[in-house]
Amino acid sequence: MESVELAFGGTSGIVVLLAYGGLMLAVGLITFLRNRNIHESLDEYYLGGRGLGVMVLFFTFFATQYSGNTVVGYPPTAYRIGYQYLVSVPFFIMIIAVYLFFAPRLYAMGRRFSLLTPVDWIDIRFKSKAVTILAATLMLYALGNYLLEQFVAIGQGVSGLTGGTIPYQVGVVFFIVIMVAYSWLGGMRSVAYTDTIQGIALLFGVFMLLIGSLIYFGGPSAAAEVMRSEAPEKLGAPDAGGIANWFSLLAIVGIGAAVYPHAVQRIFSARSEATLKRSFIRMAYMPFITAGVVFLVGIIGIAAFPGLTTGESEQLVGRIANALALENPLFYWAMILLFGGVIAAIVSTADSVLLTFSSIVSNDLYGRFIDPQAQEHRKILVGKLIGLVAVVVLVIIAWYPPSTLYQIFVLKFELLIQAAPALVLGLYWTRLNSRAVFIGMLAGTLLASTMTFSGWKPLGVFSGLWGLSLNVAVCVIGSLLLGVTREARAHAVEVIGEY
């Protein structure tokens, strides 16, 4: 391993870090100089003026869904469990399917009511302070969890891809400072533009990673020989419990990722409904191009680096990239691009999450309940400052990461999906009772939390789905039993039409 650690070590790794950091800062600065009023308007700062075109919208969706967890976290999981992790490809197909169910209609609501966040929609639809605050709390929890995941991924990505030359903690702090600086300067526009840059670099780098792995490590067939002799369970299909786990993963990821607050904000940012749909069409191909590719990289890693511990496998992508860089000058430069693309992808996902976290604080909590008369620039400032406090707290936690990326990834969905019935059912059912929605959301949250912390997982189904089942049952049955007042029904019909 000593030779592998030298590939990106020293000057080259530091130069790449500085180059990508400087590029991101330049994007933020140019965006700010071209849009001086960006800090005076919530729409401009948080939604890019609702004017994102097809390609920029596509790449910002791409960066949102295919985060550092995908590129850095998925191959180690495939390495550890083998072909059973093929389920990671349908994850993203499910996300697109859920999007198509509600996104076009939510976009129309966003244009009609000038919605800024998903909590905005829930507040307008139900006119319930309790529902609004609970939904905002769940989303802030999920966003904080997701930020923690990205911070861990930044540190592991920098450390792994530089062979340990740049320490984990240094990578975390350096790029968080860069991220806060350019997102503060340019808001959603700078976030979307950096998403586009990193998306192009990442796609090229990931494909070169796969090509190099196939050439130098023998491909899936070589990995199959290693698995057959050392870990045959990695070749087999899952048992009944494993299949239940597959389907529950598909459901929790499909629903959870589709209702990511930062993903929903991108729905509101589209220039038109046609723009939104064309972006989704392009996204439909990405599960195979991205998740499928990194899955294969994880499988090939079984032959390339057999016998890694769980902790060692978390840096699998870095090990493979460094090994390829020593084999051929072409792959050396391709891996440099991958190195920058992976780090930029992680940072671009983190900046999206931080921006949405700040928007919920500034618009949905501070602006709605604390100081409704505050001017928009003051709301933006409050959101920035609270977001900065959250970043500091999460950096302290990420200093010594509490779990693997995969475990952090699953945890955030358990509670986030409890906001899905209010967000999605509220678009279509006029008889949805606000009290039933609140009780269902709270009951689902308490059940999912209790099961998560106790480790209870009946039938191999994630606790978040048990909570969601209870949540939906309470929403539907409670609404049928309680009914809605004439005023509430009239308001619902006015907002969403007759459904």
pLDDT band for position 411 (50/70/90)? low
Quote the radius of gyration of the chain (alpha carbons, Å).
22
Place of tokens 């350096």: 174
C-alpha–C-alpha distance, residues 489 and 433, integer Å:
9
Residue 165 one-letter amino acid: T
Q: Model's pTM, two decimal places? A: 0.85
- pLDDT at 364 (0 to 100): 94
- pLDDT higher than 50, residue 12: yes
C-alpha–C-alpha distance, residues 419 and 91, integer Å:
20
User: Phi-psi region for residue 358, left (φ > 0), alpha (ψ -120 to 50) or beta?
Assistant: alpha
C-alpha–C-alpha distance, residues 327 and 165, integer Å:
20
Higher confidence at residue 148 or residue 315? 148
Residue 349 one-letter amino acid: T
Span 458-494, pLDDT tens digits:
888 889 999 999 999 999 999 999 888 888 889 889 9
- pLDDT at 6 (0 to 100): 43
Q: What is the mean pLDDT of residues 110-135?
A: 94
pLDDT band for position 438 (50/70/90)? very high
- pLDDT higher than 70, residue 401: no
Q: Are 156 and 314 in contact, with CB atoms under 8 Å apart?
A: yes
Percent of the chain with pLDDT over 90: 28
Length of the chain: 499
Residue 494: alpha-carbon gap to chain centroid: 33
- pLDDT at 5 (0 to 100): 43
Q: Are 52 and 44 in contact, with CB atoms under 8 Å apart?
A: no
Classified as helix, coil or strand, 246 is helix
C-alpha–C-alpha distance, residues 336 and 268, integer Å:
35
- pLDDT higher than 80, residue 447: yes
Q: What tokens appear for 301 in the block?
A: 């890693």
C-alpha–C-alpha distance, residues 402 and 63, integer Å:
25
Q: Are 328 and 107 in contact, with CB atoms under 8 Å apart?
A: no
- pLDDT at 405 (0 to 100): 52
Q: How far, CA to CA in Å, does 399 sit from each of 172, 395, 402?
A: 8, 6, 9
Those residues with Cβ within 8 angstroms of residue 385's Cβ, 6 or more apart along the chain or in another chain: none
Percent of the chain with pLDDT over 70: 92
Those residues with Cβ within 8 angstroms of residue 282's Cβ, 6 or more apart along the chain or in another chain: 54, 58
C-alpha–C-alpha distance, residues 93 and 250, integer Å:
9
C-alpha–C-alpha distance, residues 344 and 346, integer Å:
5
Q: Are 7 and 334 in contact, with CB atoms under 8 Å apart?
A: no
Residue 91 one-letter amino acid: F
Angle between helices 88-113 and 74-81 (to 10 degrees): 150
Q: How far, CA to CA in Å, does 270 sit from each of 106, 264, 266, 348, 362?
A: 12, 11, 7, 18, 22
Please give the helix or strand (H or E) that residue 342 lies within, else none.
helix 329-359
Q: What is the mean pLDDT of residues 151-163?
A: 71
Those residues with Cβ within 8 angstroms of residue 415's Cβ, 6 or more apart along the chain or in another chain: 138, 141, 142, 445, 448, 449, 464, 467
